Amino acid sequence: MATMQEVAKRAGVSKATVSRVLTGKGYVGEETKARVFQAITESGYRPNLLARSLASSKTQTLGLVVTNTLYHGVYFSELLSHAARMTEDKGRRLLLADGKHSAEEERQAIQYLLDLRCDAIIIYPRFLSVDELDEIIDNHSQPLVVLNRRLRKHASHCVYSDQKASSMSVVSRLITRGHRDIAFITGSLDSPTGIERLSGYKEALAQHGIEVRNELITEGKWTPASGAQGVAELLSRKATFTALVASNDDMAIGAIKQLHESQFAVPQQVSVVGFDDIAIAPFTVPALSSVKIPVTEMIKETINRLIFMLDGGDFHYQQTFPGELITRDSITDGPHA
C-alpha cells in the first residue's frame, strides 16, 4: 500500500505539502495541488482517515443508533433514507450502529460511534430510559440528540412527536364521527411509541365518557401479520366494534385484509385508521386513513440542530412535531353520527 512519503516523492514535494493538500490547511499553489492529486491517483494512496481525524479532531461523520427490530418496517426505511440524504447534503457521512435488544446494547452502540470519533450522534432509542439518556448526554461532550423521545433534563437535545396526543386526537375524531365501539391494536408494548399510542386511546375514551373495554384491545407486533392476527383475536372474542385503530399502517393493512376475509366491509361496517402514513397508504383498497408523523421534518431539525451544536451553538427550547390525520376512504361516520 502506498504511503504519504511515496506520494510526496512522486509529486516532487515534501510530505508536509502532501498533508496540507489533504487537510486543506495552509496555502499550496494550484499547480502543486494538481501534481499531488495526480500522484495520489497514480500510486493508489488512501489517506488514513482515523489519523486525519485525530489531527483535525473532526471526522465529518454523524452517527445513528437504531435497534434492529425497526429495520424491517417502512417507517425505518423513510427515516434512514432522509437521514442519509440530509447528512450528505451537509457534506458528511452517516454511520449506523445497531442498538440490538437491550438498553446495555444501545449503550454499547452509542459508545461504538463515540469510539469512531463521530462528530455528533442521533439516538433513536427503544430500551434506554429517559433518565439513562439524560445521564449519557451529561457524560459526553459530543453533541447528542435523541429522536422520538421526550427528555426531562435535556429538553433541547430531543426532537419528538407527541404520540399520545396524536392517538388521542384520532380516537376523538372517530368519536365525533359517531363511533363508540372502537377497537385498538397496540404496537409492541416494550416500545415507548406503542405504550404512548395505547395511552392516548384510553385517555380519549375517558375524556368522552366511554368505558375502556379490554376485549377491544389486542397487542400487535408492528407487522401486517400481527394486524391480521389482532382482528382474528377480536372476532374470536365476539367483540363488536364499528371502528379500529392500529398503531401503525402495516398492522392496519393486515387488519383490513383480515376484516375482508371475515366478511366485514371497510369502511361500511368497520372504519380503519393507522399511523405513520406510509407511501403505500393512499394505494390500498380502500385507501388507508392514517396519522402522518412528520419524519422528514424531524430528521431535518435533528441534523440541523447537531450541525448548529458542532458550530458552537446552543439550544434552550424544546420542539414538538404534531401528528396529522390524513383522511381517506377507510373511515366513515359511525352509527351515532
Q: How far, in Å, CA of 238 to CA of 212, rounded?
A: 16
> What is the reported pLDDT for 176?
96
> What is the reported pLDDT for 54?
44
The pLDDT > 70 percentage for the chain reads: 90
Compute the radius of gyration of the chain from its Cα atoms: 25
> What is the reported pLDDT for 55?
47
Beta strands in the chain (DSSP E): 61-66, 93-98, 120-124, 144-147, 158-160, 182-186, 217-219, 243-246, 271-275, 289-292, 319-320, 324-326
Superfamily of domain 4-56: lambda repressor-like DNA-binding domains (1.10.260.40)
The stretch 42-52 carries a mean pLDDT of 64
C-alpha cell at position 255: 387488519
Q: Does domain 61-160 have CATH number 3.40.50.2300?
A: yes
Q: Where are the domains of the chain?
A: 4-56, 61-160, 163-293
| Cβ(151)–Cβ(134) below 8 Å | yes
Q: Which of 70, 73, 62, 291 is nearest to 192 (CA)?
A: 70
Ranking 20-24, 111-115, 116-120 by mean pLDDT, the lowest is 20-24
C-alpha cell at position 85: 440524504
Q: Which pTM was predicted?
A: 0.75
* Chain mean position to CA 295: 7
pLDDT at 154 over 80: yes
| Cβ(147)–Cβ(298) below 8 Å | yes
Q: In 3-state terms, what secondary structure has residue 154?
A: coil
Strand partners, 159: 147, 319
The stretch 240-264 carries a mean pLDDT of 97
Per-residue pLDDT of 172-230, as tens digits, reads 999 999 999 999 999 988 888 899 999 999 999 999 999 999 999 999 999 999 999 99
Q: How far, in Å, CA of 146 to CA of 100, rounded?
A: 17
Per-residue pLDDT of 48-104, as tens digits, reads 554 554 444 567 888 899 887 665 666 677 778 888 888 888 778 889 899 888 999
Task: Mention the CATH class of domain 163-293.
Answer: alpha beta
Domain 4-56 matches domain 163-293 at the CATH topology level: no
